[in-house]
Amino acid sequence: MAIILDGKALAAKIKKKLADEIAAKKAEGVRPPCLAVMLVGDDPASAIYVRNKKKDCEEIGIRSLEFLFGADITDDFLVSEIEKLNSDDEVDGILVQLPLPKGLDEKRVIAAISPDKDVDAFVSSNVGQIMLGDPTFLPCTPAGVMEMLAEYNIDPTGKECVVVGRSNIVGKPMAMLLLAKNGTVTICHSRTKDLAEVTRRADILVAAVGKAKLITADMIKQGAVVVDVGMNRDENGKLCGDVDFYPVSEKASYISPVPGGVGVMTRAMLMENACTAWRSRT
């Protein structure tokens, strides 16, 4: 049976460290970090994410600003609101909850965020820094995965690392972070021929496609480290990942659960990025 990569416990440890740092700085008269979150429309999943982020901020002492807008707003309006936050010296980080409603230009909206307040690491200049190996901010989900690997002393050096998924948010930056730690990286996607043949080579497998239980036990090799980034619902409406957890856990050496794995680590790394921005401004 695989060892569980306990994201919940690690996230709690990271948040405790940040909370102690913020409390110590406040005692010295330094203002706390401030994170501005924008939510557009009424997507239920996005609303839950924003609520959880607000809760995290409250736990560790980050001031949280919420901006809720209807789905009928324009790009121009949203960009103007972002520009106000860019020029506000009391705001350290800006996050626009994705996806945006149809009709809004996501690329334009993200590009409007000042790179030094881009706590999601989505702005092109920050993406470029990740590619160059000199990041200011790390994208939250891939960074959370790397923290989990480090916590359990899993070193990607020389390992066959397979990332299933090529999104700009997870797949591509995940590959870059594994490469930066000297992993030999393969990215798989919807056009990959014989996915199972590739995944069976993986010493470290990261599944990030958003397909419930896509990765089955016959698709991994004995002793592989399996990290599940997916967040789906199964046929019974129960939360599950991209990995068929129980059969795969019988074969893997380490595995992350859903929930309680990467998802909570993503939020913890957002808090870390907000504090990184704050440190550079105070």
Active-site residues, by number, are 53, 97, 120
* Contact indicator for 29, 282 with CB cutoff of 8 Å: no
Return d(Cα 197, Cα 48) in angstroms, integer.
Answer: 37
3-class DSSP state of 225: strand
Return d(Cα 237, Cα 179) in angstroms, integer.
Answer: 36
From the number of C-beta atoms within 10 Å of its C-beta (0-12, 13-18, 19+), residue 243 rates as buried
Say what angle helices 140-151 and 7-27 make with each other, to 10 degrees. 100
Q: Diameter of the chain by CA atoms?
A: 59
Return d(Cα 222, Cα 163) in angstroms, integer.
Answer: 17
* Contact indicator for 219, 196 with CB cutoff of 8 Å: yes
Residue 44: CB atoms within 10 A of its CB come to 7
Q: What amino acid is encoded at 9 in this protein?
A: A
Cα angle: 84, vertex 86, 90; to 5 degrees: 90
Length of the chain: 282
Distances in Å between the Cα of 253 and the Cα atoms of 146, 186, 225, 239 are: 17, 20, 6, 23
> What residues form DSSP beta bridges with 68?
39
